[in-house]
Structure 1
Amino acid sequence: MKVEPLSIDIVGLVGACSYALDCIEAELVNVKNKHGKRVAYISVRMAEYWSIKSDALQDLAMCALLHDNALTQYISEELQNHSDVYIKNNLSEEKKHLHCIYGEKNISKLPFKTDVSNAILYHHEHADGTGPFQKTWREIPLFARIIHLADMIDIIGNSKDFNGQRWNFICQYLSKNKDRLFDSECVNAFRHAFTKESFMCLSDDSFETNLWGIIPRKKQVFDWETCKNVADFFANIIDYKSSFTSRHSVGVAEKASLLANYMGFNTINTQKMYLAGALHDIGKMAIGNEILEKPDKLTDDEFSKMKNHAGYTYRILSDVDDFEEIRDWAAFHHEKLNGKGYPFGKTADELNEPERIMACIDIYQALTEDRPYKKGLSHEKTCDILDDMAQKGFIDSTISNKLREFFNII
């Protein structure tokens, strides 16, 4: 069977993911939202100094947006040995370099158009060779050097807000650390790109409009292998958020696409189901782990916050151009046919077949997978629960029957 290519706003999807990553970073080190987008904007403005354009400029923006893509992975692995409080108080340079290693590996299968090798790996290196990998600026790719300076500028700017006093501090900071933390070229590029007035504009949302003006948001056609790599990249970031759901998103993506194919969906919509499944829980990035991993029953307030994750999925994916269909398939996975689901209270008349499939698959995957606090249920027991839910008007009985039939034979 021929697998048709899929058209995706990849830059918009990466930008949406950066918002989700910012939620994690805000939870960990109190960096304000849109950190990734501001780093990307500062980076592409600095790139003017070297006349970086076209594909290379887009790739720089994507690397900047994803420079902290391994943060959830780093936190997850550290939590196996330490508490949340310990991690927040011990983000030393020696430990931070781990997320550079993980992050570099994670982006290796993304569809960059130019060579971005080591852009993530070395984005915490110092010009004088005193960074985690002890590389001097001549050994560090230009993209990594740009992102390193842009990252620090945003962190410093956010510590007091992007005002005139902070601009003066940053100018002094760059002069003091030129050829030590940052190479002269990058310092000159930043001073070439920004004035006090344009720096202060980073405090409002106008910079994001300017970012998308520099980096056009155009849909691009990708083969299915590339699309699957993109989907798995996002699913892994989401699943690292909590040890309770270590492969949940990947499992939902795989099962949703398999069931859709079994039910006669064409190849394009089968691929879209995979993408929607991979992204359905991206909103959980905005929910604190004290709620996601609470061992006891959630309070009414905590459960209300937990329910918001599907709404966050909707909000995050709304920032991707021409992604409404996949967004809805992903975000409506907790809606019920009787209108008592969340967060939108959709009714049967408002829920199409792909959305109904996603709701069933999400429940099936959650019940059958092992988690730290429970053993996964058998296929038969899970299907019995789904049948009971269908009888109560929660989910589609036709789909639950197809699910019982199909996953019993594969």
Structure 2
Amino acid sequence: MKFNLNSFLLATSTALDHAEEEIMHITTHHSKRCAYISLRIGLELNLSKEECFDLCSLALMHDNGITQAFYDQNCLEAGEKKNLEILEKLVDHCKIGEQNVRKFPFLTSPKNIILHHHEYLDGSGLYGLEGDKIPIMSQIICFADDIDMKFNLLDSSISALNGIKTFAKDNKETLYYEEIVDAFLRLSSKISFWRDLNDENILSSVEKYLPVIDSTIELKDLLSISSVFSNIIDAKSKFTALHSNELTSKAAKVTEYFGWDEQKSVFFQVAANLHDIGKLSTPRIILEKNGPLTKGEFERVKEHAYLTHMILKAIEGFEQIHDWASAHHERNDGSGYPFGLKAKELSFESKILAALDMYQALVETRPYRKALPHDEAIEILYDQVPKNLFEEEIVDLIAAIFEEEALV
């Protein structure tokens, strides 16, 4: 199938920005600014179209391992003030990030770029690599990351810009390759470069310079790509550590039950993989709250479905996937969210995914209860039928498909 990688990357980077914003207390659009600076430097250095595309892709995803590393290390409790220096020094976020992107369909087969995106020429980076042992893409992303983290790039006053340029010059050939710094200094002499970094311009700025890549990929590869992001989503909380992956596994069994063709089957599984991508914006302290949510907290949780809608809507070719995934909290009577759609406005597939999502949540441990056995979860689903939330035939099929699995 034809697949527009550009729209997929730019759309999903919004979710990664939300996750990074909560953990690292940085401003929004960090990944896009890193991608823009990296891409412009790559073009300035005359990297090939394919290399520039991969460089931009890697820059957009450079911190994709932060969420899992933060949880695995347990270095800070949710809700406490986050220590950026500690997080940036977590070697694990580089390892996890590199592992996560290995299934991504890069054009030039880049290796260990994310793994080494915190390396400096003098060997003072996380892995102590020196000089030309550091991949050029890693160094470009490291430079762009440092510039955005150390300075407010939205301040384009003369004094602010001079400070950034002075930092770049002072660290040329010490921390960063000479050609990277020189390319940046040439670009930074134009006011348009700085205006492109503004919040209102950054998305269109990346799109403007990013080479257009319409890839033809196998359907199974699309599933692999989406699993990259489901892993990042699930790492948000220990209570959802397998939620998207388990839902996708159950979605696959539903497609087998109906005998759907390969494309519809893969699309349904991708929708399951990405249904909670908007949850990367939900604070972990809410996801792991051991007790009832306040009205305000529940409203914050509900926002994730709308963000899933906005992210997936922006991806070319994802129309069906978007419709199924973004409706996973809609209910037949119109009481669901984010749009309050009613039964006649919901597809059969959307209704199945919504009920399946609730079933999966019930059989998982949550901070306020233990995982429920299959029979109890199904009983709760049947309780929704007379309330006009789910249709009986859909609950019937979920009960039938997973009863045998529950006995194993």
List per-residue Cα deviations over 1:178-209 (Å, max 9, x = no partner): 12221211101211333240332112433422
Which residue number in structure 2 is paired with residue 284 of structure 1?
279
CA distance in 2, matches of 1:337, 1:85: 36
Q: Which of 160-169 and 43-52 deviates more?
A: 160-169
Three-state SS of the structure 2 residue aligned to 1:199 is helix
1:94 Cα deviation (Å)?
Answer: 7.4
Three-state SS of the structure 1 residue aligned to 2:121 is coil
Percent of residue pairs identical = 36
Q: CA RMSD in A?
A: 1.9
**What aligned pairs does 1:1-400 form with structure 2 within 5 A after superposition?**
6-79=1-74, 82-84=76-78, 88-89=82-83, 91-92=85-86, 95-158=89-152, 161-201=155-195, 202-400=197-395
1:210 Cα deviation (Å)?
Answer: 2.9
* TM norm structure 1: 0.93
Closer, same or farther: CA 315–164 of 1 in aligned 2, 3 Å: farther
1:103 Cα deviation (Å)?
Answer: 0.9
Closer, same or farther: CA 318–162 of 1 in aligned 2, 3 Å: farther
1:42 Cα deviation (Å)?
Answer: 0.8
**8 Å contact 2:78–2:284 — kept in the other structure?**
no
Q: Which of 182-191 and 158-167 deviates more?
A: 158-167
1:92 Cα deviation (Å)?
Answer: 3.1
CA distance in 2, matches of 1:343, 1:186: 45
What letter is aligned with 2:140? Answer: I
Three-state SS of the structure 2 residue aligned to 1:57 is helix
Three-state SS of the structure 2 residue aligned to 1:55 is helix
CA distance in 2, matches of 1:155, 1:188: 20
1:324 Cα deviation (Å)?
Answer: 2.4
What letter is aligned with 1:198? Answer: S
Closer, same or farther: CA 10–393 of 1 in aligned 2, 3 Å: same
CA distance in 1, matches of 2:17, 2:200: 15
CA distance in 2, matches of 1:341, 1:85: 29
CA distance in 1, matches of 2:25, 2:174: 26
Closer, same or farther: CA 341–23 of 1 in aligned 2, 3 Å: same
Three-state SS of the structure 2 residue aligned to 1:128 is coil
1:320 Cα deviation (Å)?
Answer: 1.5
Q: Which of 186-195 and 338-347 deviates more?
A: 186-195
CA distance in 2, matches of 1:151, 1:63: 12
CA distance in 2, matches of 1:223, 1:397: 36
1:85 Cα deviation (Å)?
Answer: 5.9
Three-state SS of the structure 2 residue aligned to 1:8 is strand
Three-state SS of the structure 1 residue aligned to 2:152 is helix
What letter is aligned with 1:280? Answer: H
Three-state SS of the structure 1 residue aligned to 2:216 is strand
What letter is aligned with 1:199? Answer: F
CA distance in 2, matches of 1:195, 1:96: 34
List per-residue Cα deviations over 1:18-54 (Å, max 9, x = no partner): 2111112211222221111111111111012321122
* TM norm structure 2: 0.93
Q: Structure 1: which 5+ residue stretches go unaligned?
A: 1-5
Three-state SS of the structure 2 residue aligned to 1:370 is coil
1:281 Cα deviation (Å)?
Answer: 0.6
1:298 Cα deviation (Å)?
Answer: 0.8
1:217 Cα deviation (Å)?
Answer: 4.7
CA distance in 2, matches of 1:49, 1:283: 35
**8 Å contact 1:162–1:199 — kept in the other structure?**
no
How many residues align? The count is 404
Q: Structure 2: which 5+ residue stretches go unaligned?
A: none
Which residue number in structure 2 is paired with residue 3 of structure 1?
none
List per-residue Cα deviations over 1:353-397 (Å, max 9, x = no partner): 111011011011001123454332222222121112122210122
Three-state SS of the structure 2 residue aligned to 1:119 is coil
Three-state SS of the structure 2 residue aligned to 1:158 is coil
